[in-house]
Amino acid sequence: MSTSVPSRLWKQITKHGRGYVFTPSEVLHLGTRSAVDQALSRLVKTGKVRRIGHGVYAYPQLNSLVGEVPASPTVVAQALARGRGAEAQISEATAANSLGLTTQVPGRVVYLTNGSPRRRRVGNTVIEFRHAAPRRLAGAGSAAGTVAQALRFLGPGGTSGQMLERLRHQLSLRQRKQLRALSPLMPAWMHPALEAIALPSHG
């Protein structure tokens, strides 16, 4: 059975497409731990898969100009959380910075989780997981969730009409609908901003 693990593993990886980041726990259903480890090692040696940290692998995104595109901390955090059966939500400060709403650079990359608190170094990045209540994980891993977290960081009165319009144009219609669906889980002061961002486009 283990002889077919490499082909099944490659099929599983390519099914997710380039940019996929994962841990071995996501693919252990394909064979024994030793067989999966051997298959991963072979893929790394042939350059098909990149080992980006201890127990973290990527099927690299490619760019015609720069070659391999490094996986974002958010994608890595999501993979680490999935590997432990948990969720990961970008922190408020990290979300605001990633959307260009503040020039304040967080001291570390922080994610909220319903799993256990811990820190992981992946490459040159230290990712810190902090335990949080389920309500603060609403929209975890989505563009809508990132916008909601950024609004939390800015706080009541911390946004302008121009800023909200900018956020609205960064989201697709589907993502704006997802943002509106998160509204009941958000503090009351945030509702007007969420509605303004979720407004349908005109013209």
Q: Are strands 125-131 and 109-113 parallel, antiparallel or unpaired?
A: parallel
Per-residue pLDDT, 184: 93
pLDDT of residue 178: 94
User: CB under 8 Å to 60, separation ≥6 — which residues?
Assistant: 18, 19, 50, 68, 69, 71
Domain-by-domain residue ranges, the chain? 2-69, 73-198
Q: Which long-range contacts (CB under 8 A, 24 or more apart) does 49-53 make?
A: 49/13, 52/21, 52/76, 52/122, 52/123, 53/120, 53/121, 53/122, 53/123
Residue with tokens 């304040």: 104
Q: What pLDDT is attached to residue 112? A: 94
Q: In CATH, which of 3.40.50.970, 1.10.10.10, 3.10.180.10, 3.40.50.300 is domain 2-69? A: 1.10.10.10
Task: Tell me the whole-structure pTM to 2 decimals.
Answer: 0.77
Contact 23, 57 (CB under 8 A): yes
What does each of the 203 residues of the chain score in pLDDT, given as a tens digit?
Answer: 445 899 999 999 999 999 999 999 999 999 999 999 999 999 999 999 999 998 999 999 988 888 888 888 888 999 999 999 999 999 998 899 889 888 776 667 899 999 999 999 888 888 999 999 988 899 998 999 999 999 999 999 898 999 999 999 889 999 999 999 999 999 999 999 999 999 865 54
